[in-house]
Structure 1
Amino acid sequence: MRVDVPVLLRDATLSDAAAIGDVHAEAWQVAYRDLFEPQWLGRFVAKRRTQWASRMATPEFDRATMLVAVRHDRVCAFAYFGPHGLTAGKHTVVPSVWPRPGEGEIYGFYAHPSVWGTGVAPTLMDGAWDLLAEAGYRRVRLWTLAGANRARRFYSRFGFEESGATHERDFGDGRPVLELEYVRSVR
């Protein structure tokens, strides 16, 4: 993929919260439109649009890294990552697997649909991967929805493989969706 416009990667700041929310919401709106009932998707999208200012103000956020990709002076993608298990509360899994010392996790990785296919996401993943490797993680994990085929292909192209771990996650609509865990070793 070719990036036709330069992409700047930098640490996110609280002033980026609204732009991060827009990226997150628009990505959900397009990527998950076939996975949730429209009225529920609308609620989930609205929540993602407004949650980042409060999330970025938590002590947990300071233990992780959020990298943003900027094109044309606009935040167009973000990667949120850090130690494995930091955001364990969002998943219902066997407690004995949380956390895994020496392992990292990508908690969220989203690009605005307007930049899909332009090379922004691979550039951001490369930058996030470099920081995860510099932090000394041996392996990096992430979870994605089973029906998010575009994301699954993207992670596979970056060397992530399904670990075989799955769980159901209820986003609040009473209809749990299957999430799949992906893993990549840092070499």
Structure 2
Amino acid sequence: MKIRSATLADAHAIAEIHVHSWQQTYRGIVPDVYLDSMTVATREVVWRETLLQSHPKVIVAVDDAKVVGFCSFGRCRDEGAGSNDGEIWALYLSPAQLGKGFGRELLSVACAQLSAQRKTHISFWVIVGNNRATRFYKAAGFEPEPASVKVFELAGADIEEIRYVQACSSLIAPLDCRT
């Protein structure tokens, strides 16, 4: 396993992982009409633009020369967030690669890089009902902020998400982004 910065050449693989992960993870949580309308081609355009802009930062997990997961992260996008607040914008794995340690490594590298940027708090948003992600982030030391629950509309349905947060020091070891 190798974790490296994503390149423009990775956009298609990232898009495939993004679409397939959403279609598997969120079936029964978000409307099927939305999931069924997702295409790799559309997501690839978005990821190409993201990679060209270099923000947010995107890293990939590679196994046997194949991209099997990705994580994007950067400044916290929440209203009122301070300059020391970082955010995991997305972390997705190819569904066949779940439970093999790729997600933990991606999260560790992202936390370490955010810590190196002097971010003291790291947050991310999880769609309510994504129990696998909830367990994963709690195991990594993140805690939910119950007062942060918000609702957004997706394909005519109200979807709830909740913010998880962790305080990190600037001396975090790559595999220990915990308070």
Conserved 8 A contact 1:25-1:49 = no
1:63 Cα offset (Å): 3.7
- Superposed CA RMSD: 1.6
Conserved 8 A contact 1:24-1:49 = no
Conserved 8 A contact 2:17-2:92 = yes
Alignment partners' CA distance in 2, 1:67 and 1:184 = 20
Opposite residue 50 of structure 2, the aligned amino acid is: R
Structure 2: state its 5+ residue gaps. Answer: 170-179
Select the residue among 39, 59, 62 that pairs with 2:33.
39
Q: SS where residue 57 of structure 1 aligns?
A: helix
Identical aligned residues as a percent: 29
4+ aligned runs moved over 6 Å, structure 1: none
**Per-residue CA distance 1:34-65 (angstroms, 9 max, x = gap):** 1123222111455445531233334xxx2431
Distance 1:110 1:32, change over 3 A: same
1:176 Cα offset (Å): 1.7
Structure 1: state its 5+ residue gaps. Answer: 1-6, 89-96
Select the residue among 15, 20, 30 that pairs with 2:14.
20
Conserved 8 A contact 2:51-2:58 = no
Q: How many residues align?
A: 167
Select the residue among 38, 52, 57 that pairs with 1:57.
52
Give the TM-score, by structure 2 length: 0.87
Opposite residue 17 of structure 1, the aligned amino acid is: A
Conserved 8 A contact 1:26-1:45 = no
1:66-85 correspondence to structure 2 within 5 Å: 66-85=58-77
Alignment partners' CA distance in 2, 1:27 and 1:184 = 24
1:37-186 correspondence to structure 2 within 5 Å: 37-44=31-38, 46=40, 47-48=42-43, 50-58=45-53, 62-85=54-77, 97-164=79-146, 165-171=148-154, 173-186=155-168
Conserved 8 A contact 2:85-2:121 = yes
Opposite residue 72 of structure 1, the aligned amino acid is: D
Alignment partners' CA distance in 2, 1:31 and 1:123 = 20
Conserved 8 A contact 1:84-1:98 = no
Conserved 8 A contact 2:60-2:68 = yes
Opposite residue 97 of structure 2, the aligned amino acid is: V
User: Which residue of the partner structure matches residue 3 of structure 1?
Assistant: none
